[in-house]
Chain A
Amino acid sequence: MIAIILFGSLGVAMYATWAERKVAAVMQDRRGPNRAGPFGLLQPLADGLKLFMKEEIIPNNSTRFIFILGPSLAMLTATMTSAVVPWGPDIVLGSGSAISLQVADINIGILFIFGVLSLGVYGIMLGGWASNNKFSLLSAIRAASQAISYELPMGLALIALLMMSGSLSLHDIVGQQHGFWKDGWFTWYVFKQPLGFFIFLVCSFAELNRAPFDLPECENELNMGYHQEYSSMKLGFYLFAEYINMFVSSAVIVTLFFGGYNFPFMDVVAAKLGEGSVLMALICIGAFMTKIICFILFFMFVRWTIPRFRYDQLMNLGWKSLIPLALVNMLITGGVILWFFN
């Protein structure tokens, strides 16, 4: 199970690099990669092979151990988050035992994701510092302050959602969003927490270092950013970790706000196919993956549409707009729950 999820997220991330180039090409009226295989589908393999074959250079004045630790940490934290995401409903076997499509259903699932997220910045910071390059250092410091600043509104936005769910376990949160419509309102949390969703989305752009918040890799100020001195597969790890992060954070957004593996009329389908059958689980996983891919494409569209922010604009947005908004959202949610649902 762990291996399937690991290789699945690596595979999705691999093709996300291909999709990113294709999306960029379409949006700029180009063709994009089209030489390796049909539609250039073998391009990620060729890229990977190229990165592996490249000469590996470790700068003389770098701190060797930490220099190697940086990309490893980035990759480690990127792949760890997927452990708590529920990928599908339980499959009930004929003997009555159930197979869970979630690696670990811990009762603090969301906090686990936050913990791993807050550690993700170490990969960038240590790598940037160990390179012994001013640009890398500046970029690492930017990345760290950006990540810390945007973790706050992200957490505050989540608190409002947690007030409604009453549980930190992602398994429970997905269970509460069963189907699509119940008791005269949508079950998905995006319809109950639209402002919270918006804040969470903006913050995840910042946490992912994606455009329009890709200040740590802003070419015209910092050359290449924190991976300036990296070559070969270490550079590949940094770039790849970003795509894995994008996949995982899309999965988390879908799980929290877009019902996870639930889809409209799923009870009808489940009654036809039998509750807990393998086919039903596969359909659910399919629905989940479709939503995730929509979000990945959304991340890409935004990258090729909106220009980069300036650093002080980024800080102003985080501290002066998003945090007060998240606090207001929290107050409103608390008030509504207290007055109407208590």
Chain B
Amino acid sequence: MPIQQLIFWILSAATLSCALGVVLSRNPIHSVMFLVLTFFCISGHYILMNAQFIGIVNIIVYAGAIMVLFLFVIMLMNLNSDVEPQKSRLIQLAGVLSGGSLLLVLLAAFRSTNLAPLEERASDIGLISNLGQALFTKYVVPFELSSILFLSAMIGAIVIGKKDSHPHREVTSGEQLDGMDNIVKNDAPLIDPSLSNARSVTPEHEHYEAHS
């Protein structure tokens, strides 16, 4: 068996078992970790196809940014296996049935499609210069459209985040962007200017009282 094929099989087995781990583990943090591993395996597949750029971008964007945000939310909400809601048997059965029928449909579609064989020789389309050429010449309109979509999604997220803040509180940009400041401010009263004022006032006050 050539080495590429061996690596392919090992990677595929790892991808599938990690993906199963995401679904099967009870602890949400473990699920996230399995998902990160799955992304790594998929990146391995990309690199095997000589698409290094897509492989590394997959790691940067999904494993490095999106999954960190997932972890972030799960840690903040303090989710663990105890609070996982228990579903009733009926819902579980319905889930199995619908999932299984989707699998059947996919399998049937897969059997009847005539997949063109992959190129045998090493393809260079995944290298960054070729990919850039393709994106900015042949597919420039879809590329620009999708970037506008992302921009509007970003602006939408900021608008929604703004509505949530209480009107009487001073809104800083940090709050809109990550909501971290609530915790930080509550836990760090030293930052509060009113308190530091109070502290600077107190000694004078005592001084006054001592004299009177």
Contact with B along A41-77 (1 / 0, CB 8 A): 0000000000000000000000100100000000000
CA distance A137 to B183 in the complex (A): 11
CA distance A311 to B181 in the complex (A): 8
Chain A binding surface, main DSSP class: helix
Is B190's CB under 8 angstroms from A221's CB?
A: yes
Chain A residues numbered 96-138 whose CB sits less than 8 Å from any CB in chain B: 106-108, 111-112, 114-115, 117-119, 121-122, 125-126, 129, 137-138
Chain A residues numbered 67-95 whose CB sits less than 8 Å from any CB in chain B: none
Interface size counted on chain B using CB atoms at 8 A: 34
Contact of B29 among A66, A119, A144 (CB under 8 A): A66
Is B53's CB under 8 angstroms from A137's CB?
A: no
Is B60's CB under 8 angstroms from A148's CB?
A: no
Chain A proximity of B112: nearest CB distance (Å): 38
Is A115's CB under 8 angstroms from B56's CB?
A: yes
Within 8 Å CB of A108, what residues of B?
Answer: 52-53, 56, 128
Contact of A315 among B59, B173, B190 (CB under 8 A): B173
Max chain A Cβ within 10 angstroms of own Cβ: one of B53, B64, B69? B64
Is B173's CB under 8 angstroms from A138's CB?
A: no
Is A144's CB under 8 angstroms from B63's CB?
A: no
Is A141's CB under 8 angstroms from B174's CB?
A: no
Is B173's CB under 8 angstroms from A63's CB?
A: no
Contact of B180 among A66, A117, A142 (CB under 8 A): A142
Is A121's CB under 8 angstroms from B68's CB?
A: yes
Is B178's CB under 8 angstroms from A145's CB?
A: yes
Contact of A118 among B27, B64, B173 (CB under 8 A): B64
Chain B residues numbered 156-212 whose CB sits less than 8 Å from any CB in chain A: 172-174, 177-178, 180-181, 183-184, 187-188, 190-191
Q: Does B71 contact A (CB under 8 A)?
A: yes
Within 8 Å CB of B33, what residues of A?
Answer: 66, 126
Contact with A along B71-109 (1 / 0, CB 8 A): 110011000000000000000000000000000000000
Chain A proximity of B43: nearest CB distance (Å): 9
CA distance A121 to B36 in the complex (A): 13
Question: Which partner residue on chain A sits nearest B78 by CB separation?
Answer: A137
Chain B residues numbered 23-62 whose CB sits less than 8 Å from any CB in chain A: 27, 29, 33, 36, 52-53, 56-57, 59-60
20 additional contacts, CB 8 Å, given A111-B57, A119-B64? A106-B52, A108-B53, A112-B56, A118-B60, A118-B64, A122-B36, A122-B68, A125-B72, A125-B75, A126-B33, A126-B71, A129-B29, A138-B184, A142-B180, A144-B71, A145-B72, A145-B180, A220-B190, A311-B180, A319-B177
| Chain A residues near B (Cβ < 8 Å) | 63, 66, 106-108, 111-112, 114-115, 117-119, 121-122, 125-126, 129, 137-138, 140-142, 144-145, 147-149, 151, 168, 220-221, 310-312, 315-316, 319-320
